[in-house]
Structure 1
């Protein structure tokens, strides 16, 4: 029987666990109900030994925590890693695919991406993640959304359900890097304005970049469009929500907007 072990049961990894249809054991920092603590070596190694597939969504710190602590236990199993399209760095708005050079602004992320590829993993590079409870609709409704006035700054995004279907499709795919992104990169302002219109609210104000956090300013300094052709061709994957309009419509149908962070979209939380 196939069994999935997940390092870091965060937002995206939880959706993958649900979509897999397999028995799943996962780690968290606190070992909350149904999970085990990341630093419980005995329990983690037993779980890894019983698994057929290993997925990590733990982001790097100085290095990759999973490979540093448990890398010796991973041989002989399917390996997957949730990385970030941030490894491509700024492309000036151009399209990037998996052959693009790795020159992201976070050396630790770049190194972790490369280390998992060297382990023979399927490395899923993700752009801004959204979905129920974590979307522009939530931020607009909570009054925490903003616009930047940067109409030419574009980026790709991905609905969390499309991450899940892409990773599940990767269970039978060869190792390598795969971009899981939608088909319509666009500016953050356009997405926020569309979310406001859906809610019948005025667009939120334009704010100066100097008022944002360093992480947000760094995010808006990058500009790229992420190509997903390899995932479509090799995995046989198609995004169910190929653009933000369809994705936000699905979010609206599934949930009522709730308060959410105003931070730029990220790959995943540090849920070890």
Structure 2
């Protein structure tokens, strides 16, 4: 079995780690403080030792303060590492606003966050065998609209033409596993049915028997800057390349099946 080194053992990467360990893989993860048996990100000796032994390397760490911390600290070592596979979890936010149109991996990178765009490009350029996975809104057990409804944090926003893509966390792991047998490149991992966020809220409330939150404008909802920025972009993310080249098929092709699994 292989040895996967994961920079940033968070929510999505944790699902991948679990699936690998059940297959007999050796998984090493980094966290800020080395909790739970992981390696502290700043422990250079331990990280470099793991880089030398890893057959697969994945970074799920987003840019911080304008720069990618993994590339800044270990980019040169990753570029020269003997691993047979290297991947990076990026964001479909690099595409920016598409006014609701379908976009694939050939779309220009023009997202609002220059640091996210730069990290995406830098990881692609790091090695010839890079896999970059661009992810839309991630949901799954403990992090879905069902949890926000239960906590009273769900909103219905009066933007009728707004469309978003999303992906279940288990399908991210599935896409990464499929890429072990596929070619390098950039892949969108998204479900098959982009839709308005209000549809999720309404479906989730019906599932839980909860009342619908009121329909509000962005100003009335009092959203945080990060949540408000979520509504500043409008796009449908195509996943055909991952299906064609990796043989990947989402286990949860739409939010209804994904939320049922969460419940």
Query: Structure 2 length as normaliser, TM-score?
Result: 0.93
Q: Structure 2 CA distance, aligned partners of 1:79 and 1:163?
A: 15
User: What residue in structure 2 maps to residue 92 of structure 1?
Assistant: 99
User: What residue in structure 1 maps to residue 86 of structure 2?
Assistant: 79
Q: How does 1:152-191 map to 2 (within 5 A)?
A: 152-191=161-200
Matched, 1:39 2:42: yes
Contact in 2 for aligned 1:19/1:168 (Cα 8 Å): no
Q: Deviations over 1:143-195 (max 9, x none)?
A: 11111122210110000000000011112222210000000000001111100
**CA shift at 1:119, angstroms?**
1.6
User: What residue in structure 2 maps to residue 239 of structure 1?
Assistant: 250
**CA shift at 1:208, angstroms?**
2.9
Contact in 2 for aligned 1:94/1:224 (Cα 8 Å): yes
Q: How does 1:1-272 map to 2 (within 5 A)?
A: 1-20=1-20, 21=23, 22-61=25-64, 62-74=66-78, 75=80, 76-77=82-83, 78-120=85-127, 121-210=130-219, 211-252=222-263
Q: Structure 2 CA distance, aligned partners of 1:138 and 1:27?
A: 27
Q: Structure 1 CA distance, aligned partners of 2:246 and 2:113?
A: 28
**Residues 30, 207 of structure 1: alpha-carbon distance in 2 compared, 3 angstrom cutoff:** farther
Contact in 1 for aligned 2:6/2:28 (Cα 8 Å): yes
User: What residue in structure 2 maps to residue 270 of structure 1?
Assistant: none
Contact in 1 for aligned 2:4/2:28 (Cα 8 Å): yes
Q: Structure 2 CA distance, aligned partners of 1:36 and 1:73?
A: 16
Q: Structure 1 CA distance, aligned partners of 2:216 and 2:48?
A: 48
Contact in 1 for aligned 2:94/2:109 (Cα 8 Å): yes
Q: Deviations over 1:11-60 (max 9, x none)?
A: 00000111223110000011102201101101111111110100000001
Query: Structure 1 length as normaliser, TM-score?
Result: 0.90
User: How many residue pairs end up in the alignment?
Assistant: 252
**CA shift at 1:207, angstroms?**
3.2
Helix, strand or coil: the match of 2:138?
Answer: strand
Q: Structure 2 CA distance, aligned partners of 1:33 and 1:163?
A: 23
Question: Structure 2: any 5+ residue segments left out of the alignment?
Answer: none
Q: Which has the higher relative contact order, 1 or 2, with Cα contacts under 8 A spaced 6 or more apart?
A: 1
Name the Cα RMSD after superposition: 1.0
